[in-house]
A and B are shown apart, each in its own frame.
Chain A
Amino acid sequence: MQDNSSKQILLSVLGVAILIVAVVGVSFAVFTYQLAGQKENTITTGTITMNYTEGQKGISITNAMPVSDDVGKTITNTAGADDTGSDLAGGAGHLEAGASGVFDFNVNATINGSVTIKYDIMAVKKGESTLEDQYAKLYLQKSDAATMASPSDAQVPITYDKLSEASSAATDAGKGLQNAKLLHTDTFTASATHYYRLRMWVDNSYKVDKTARTFTVTVNVYGQAV
């Protein structure tokens, strides 16, 4: 009986010792030596900031008639010129005074360190839209300049129904978005600003009738380090 107790005590002590070693990480050495180092080994974390900045005005086109992509791609960003606004070329629609025919925005990332950030530009259709998805055309251009000089096509003209589903987004937040489509996915590997211009028009397959219809989207941006 005495042996059993001793064994139990020994096991308990051993268990506690293991516990302490596991938690504290203390190591026991027979020979001890100590010298204070001079060299500093430093880790400084990198920083990432990201911003999505919308332009002053969203697109607001009225009396839009179906037009070809060639016409739609030239929709001006000139706001309605006078008190009565102005007509867009080719019957693409009308701009009320002060309204805009395009939507400009930019996405900026400031990165210190080595990291890749993917981001999704999502088009979210508003519930009050009455124009069918297959008749709303969207077109997204991208430039490295705020003036949109030498733009490239981030998304060629495409009807809303044919945009990629949110599940194709690169970010977790983008993937989970409801009533949304993926406009464009891009990447930052260094600090930069990407400038975008969105245009919308009525596809030329739409048959105009006596009923006015509306289509509205907002643009969300989601980023994620990979």
Chain B
Amino acid sequence: MKNSLGTRIIVSICLVLLLILLTSGLSYAVFKYSKTGNKDNTVNTGTITFTYNETSNGIALTNAQPMTDNAGKVLQKTDDANGATQGYFDFTVSANMSNNIPITYEVYGSVESESTIDPKYIKVYLTDGSTNDRAIEGYTGSVVPVYSSLPEAVSNPNGKKLYTETFTKSALKTFRLRLWIASNYDNEATSQKFIMKVNVATVD
């Protein structure tokens, strides 16, 4: 009985002391501030669609003979029995931009491995494909360049740059490509061939 009473007294004192400690401990507060912003800060990116479109069949010159530049410049489309388009190859390059920024691109040729004709005998001629078929920059001289003399493409060291330009706004450019065998080429006993693809790439 004595122990029970003593225990109860001690417990009571402890509880009171605990109450005092808890009360005094909760009475201290630190200044705090919080505010959530309401204004959205937004950046929406622009868009660019850059397209290279081959609008005709590729050039297919069979049984081709060496010819002069004057003859080569006016090669026309002739559909053969296989439906291939001879004479010239049409393509377009276009950029559709939501914001006007400069985009530099190059048109370059890449020669397929099965080609057997030395590129120094292949004439390359680019026009705008318009009704007047005007030669574009780099092809307006009196002598049409041969493939091997073209500068190296920036985007592909194995390619040759046919043309380069910078779009500063949305635009569409049309091209007409003609290839022929230079007049100084000596025909061989067996048929030879030259196969080239046209590529387009943007450059920095």
What does DSSP make chain B's interface, helix, strand, loop or mixed? mixed
B36 at the interface (CB under 8 A from A): yes
Does the CB pair A224–B31 fall under 8 Å? yes
> Chain A nearest CB: distance from B22 CB in Å?
13
Interface digits, B4-33 against A, CB 8 Å rule (1 contact, 0 not)?
A: 011001101100110010000000001111
User: Are A48 and B31 within 8 A (Cβ)?
Assistant: yes
| Count class of interface residues, chain B | 20 to 34
Taking a contact as CB atoms closer than 8 A, the residue among A87, A131, A208 that contacts B43 in the complex is A131
When the two chains form the complex, which single residue of A23, A58, A218, A222 contacts B20, counting CB atoms closer than 8 Å? Answer: A23
Cβ of A220 within 8 Å of any chain B Cβ, yes or no, is: yes
Q: How many A-B residue pairs have CB under 8 A?
A: 158
Within 8 A of A (CB), among B41-64: 41-49
User: Are A198 and B41 in contact (CB-based, < 8 A)?
Assistant: yes
Q: Distance (Å) between the CB of B64 and the closest chain A CB? A: 40
A94, A119, A219: the one contacting B37 at CB < 8 Å is A219
Q: Does A57 contact B (CB under 8 A)?
A: yes
Q: Are A208 and B46 in contact (CB under 8 A)?
A: yes
Q: How far is the CA of A210 from the CA of B46 in the complex (A)?
A: 8
Return chain B residues, CB-CB under 8 Å to A87.
99-100
* 8 Å CB contact of A223 from B12, B32, B41: B32
Q: Is A190 an interface residue (CB 8 A)?
A: no
Q: How far is the CA of A206 from the CA of B32 in the complex (A)?
A: 40
* B interface footprint on A100-111 (CB within 8 Å = 1, 0 otherwise): 000101000000
**CB pair B16 A59 closer than 8 Å:** no
CB within 8 Å for A172 and B44 given contacts A57-B39, A63-B98, A91-B99: no
B171 at the interface (CB under 8 A from A): no
A61 & B37 in contact (Cβ 8 Å cutoff): no
B44 touches A18 (CB 8 A): no
Minimum CB–CB distance from A156 to chain B (whole Å) comes to 18
Given known contacts A65-B45, A173-B32, A208-B46, what 20 new A-B pairs fall within 8 Å (CB)? A7-B2, A8-B2, A8-B5, A23-B20, A52-B35, A55-B39, A60-B42, A61-B42, A62-B46, A63-B46, A65-B46, A94-B99, A209-B47, A217-B41, A218-B41, A219-B41, A222-B32, A223-B31, A225-B31, A225-B32
Footprint of A on B, CB under 8 Å?
A: 2, 5-6, 9-10, 12-13, 16-17, 20, 30-49, 98-101
15 A-B pairs within 8 Å (CB atoms) are namely: A4-B2, A12-B9, A15-B13, A18-B13, A59-B43, A61-B43, A62-B44, A63-B99, A64-B43, A126-B40, A212-B47, A215-B43, A218-B39, A219-B39, A223-B34
